Amino acid sequence: MLLTAFFRYLKGYVRVRLKGYSPERFLNLCRARSIEIWDLRSSGLTYEMNLGIRDFRKLKPLRKKARAHVEIIERHGLPFFLHRNRNRKMFPVGILLCVAFLYVMSLYIWNIHIEGNYSRTTDVILDYLETEQVVHGMKKSQVDCKEIQSMIRLEFPDIIWVSAEVKGTRLLIRVRENMDTGTEEALEEPAEKTDLAAARSGVVTSVLVRSGKALVQAGDEVEKGQLLVTGRLDIMSDYGEVTGYQYTAADADVYARTEYEYDDEFLLSHEERHFTGKKRYGFYLRLGNRRLAFEKKPGFSDYTTLQTEYPLRLTENFYLPLSFGTIFYEEYETYTENYTIEEARLLAETNLNGFLENLMEKGVQIVENNVKIEVSGSLCRASGTIAALEEIGEAVPTEILEDPVQAERPEEE
C-alpha cells in the first residue's frame, strides 16, 4: 500500500470533481478503458476522485461522449512540486547536494553488527577489531571480509566459525563458539596443588573425598582454617618408609553443623519522608566531558534527584560523543515517628528473614532458629543463634615438602 502511494506521488496525480447529466456513464467508460480511479466519493450530484496525470489526459473524448464536466480541484505529487519551485534556483541545488550526501554516506560502514557470541561480548570483539582498523566510518572498499574472518579465528581460539559480509552500510559478522572449550582445557591443564581447609568452625557431619586424603571424619569438631583434606599423598617404599610425595588438587564434600551469631537492634523513633507533590524537571546536553544544563535550582530544602542519561548513536554500536539527560526533582518533608510494637516486630522479622535468605542463597541449610525478638523502652532488639548445615571446605595452597633422605640399607645375601 505504501509502495503504491509512493509511486503515485512520483508520477503525480490530480483530484477532480465530476459533474454532468450521467456521471455513472462516465465512470463506466473510464473502467472500460482501464483508467485507474481511486478514493472515489459522492457529494450530492457530483463525484470527487483521484487520477494519474497520464490518465487525466485521456479524459477529453470521454467527457464529450458522456456530456460530463471535469474540473481539477487539487494537484499532488513530485511533478507539481518541482513545477511550483522551478524559479527557486537553490532548491534543485539542495536536492542534488542531498542526493550526493546520501551517495557518499552509502560508501562507508556505519554499523558493525555481531551475532552468535556468548562467552565473548560484543564490546570485546569490537575493541579487537578497532585495533585492526576495522571501525565504524571506514570505507566499504577497505573491508576485507576474508581477512576479518581469519583475524577473529586467530585472536579467539574458542570461536570455531566466522562469517563476515557487507550489507548496505552494515558489516554483519556471525560467529559460532565452541561451548566445550572450557571443559577440554580443564581436563588438559594439570591439577593445582591444593588442600581443603575449614571456612568456618563446626562439627563435621559427613565427608566424601574424590581426590586427596581425608584428615577428619564425621563427629570431629574443627576450627576455622583447620585442614580437612590434604592434596599431598605419601609415596611409600617396600620398607614402609616415606620416599616422596605426590601432589594433587584436593576435592571433597565436607559438611558440618555450624552456628551463626545474630544481633540486630534499632530505635523505635525514626524519620519518615513524606513527599509534598512538588516536582521540578530539567535537562542537559553532554558533549564529551562538558555538560550544558538547561535547568533551574529546584528551590526545595529537601528533595530527591533522579537523573537519566541517553547517549546518542547512529547505529546499534556506533555511539556519538553527544548525549542528553533529564533530571527529576521531588520535594519531601521529614517527620519523626515511632514504630508501634507490632510494626517493630514486623521490621525485625523482615530483617531476620533477609539474613536467612542470604544464607540460603549461598547453599546454607537452616537447621534451627534460636533468635528472639524483644521490644523494651525505645529499643527493639533481635538476637540469638542460628544453627546451620553447610559445606565448609575451601581450597588453600598445599605446603610443598622436600623428599626425605633415604638411609642406605645393607644388601641381602
362-374: per-residue pLDDT in tens?
Answer: 999 999 999 999 9
| Half-sphere exposure of residue 290: CA atoms within 13 angstroms, side-chain side | 2
pLDDT of residue 299: 85
Q: Give whole-number Cα distances, 384 to 268, 306, 346, 373, in Å.
A: 20, 40, 17, 9
- Please tell me the distance from the alpha carbon of residue 153 to that of residue 156, in angstroms, as a whole number: 5
Is 3.40.50.300 the CATH classification of the domain at 111-181?
Answer: no
Report the distance separating Cα 139 and Cα 132, nearest Å.
14
Q: ∠ at Cα 361 (359, 364), nearest 5°? A: 50
Distance, in Å, from the CA atom of 9 to the CA atom of 225, rounded to the nearest integer, reads 82
335 grid coordinates: 517527620
Burial of 96 (0-12, 13-18, 19+ CB in 10 A): exposed
pLDDT in tens, 320-334: 668 889 999 999 999
Are 205 and 372 within 8 A, CB to CB? no
Residues of the chain with pLDDT under 50: 183-190
The pLDDT value recorded for residue 388 is 96
Residue where the block lists cell 524483644: 374
DSSP state of 95: H
* Predicted TM-score (pTM) of this structure: 0.51
pLDDT at 243: 81
Structural fold of domain 2-83: Alpha-Beta Plaits (3.30.70)
Residue 79, classified by CB atoms within 10 Å of its CB into exposed (0-12), middle (13-18) or buried (19+), is middle
Cα 157–159–165 angle (5° rounding)?
125
Set of cell numbers at residue 263: 544481633
The model's pLDDT over 78-94, given as tens digits with 9 standing for 90+, comes to 888 878 877 776 777 78
pLDDT at residue 262, as a whole number: 96
Map residue 308 onto helix, strand or coil: strand
**Dihedral sign, Cα of residue 146, residue 147, residue 150, residue 151:** negative
Spatial contact of 50 and 39, defined as CB atoms under 8 Å apart: yes
Q: What is the DSSP string of 160-189?
A: EEEEEEEETTEEEEEEEE-TTHHHHHHHHS
Q: What pLDDT is attached to residue 366? A: 95
Residue 278, sorted as left (phi over 0), alpha (psi -120 to 50) or beta, turns out to be: beta
pLDDT of residue 408: 61
**3-state SS assignment for residue 388:** strand
pLDDT of residue 88: 74
The two beta strands, 379-391 and 365-376, are antiparallel
- The residues, any chain, with a CB within 8 Å of residue 224's CB and separated by 6 or more, are 198, 199, 200, 201
Alpha helix locations (H) across 72-174?
Answer: 78-84, 90-105, 122-131, 145-155
Average model confidence (pLDDT) for the chain? 87
In angstroms, the Cα distances linking 154 to 24, 170, 181, 213 are 75, 23, 15, 42
Length of the chain: 413
17-76 tens-digit pLDDT: 988 877 888 888 888 888 899 988 887 778 899 999 998 988 888 888 888 888 999 999
Residue 226 identity (one-letter amino acid): Q
- Cell 582445557 locates to 185
Edge to edge, the sheet with strand 38-43 lists 38-43, 46-52, 13-20, 68-76
What is the C-alpha to C-alpha distance for residues 389 and 385, in angstroms, rounded to an integer? 13
CB 18 within 8 A of CB 69: yes
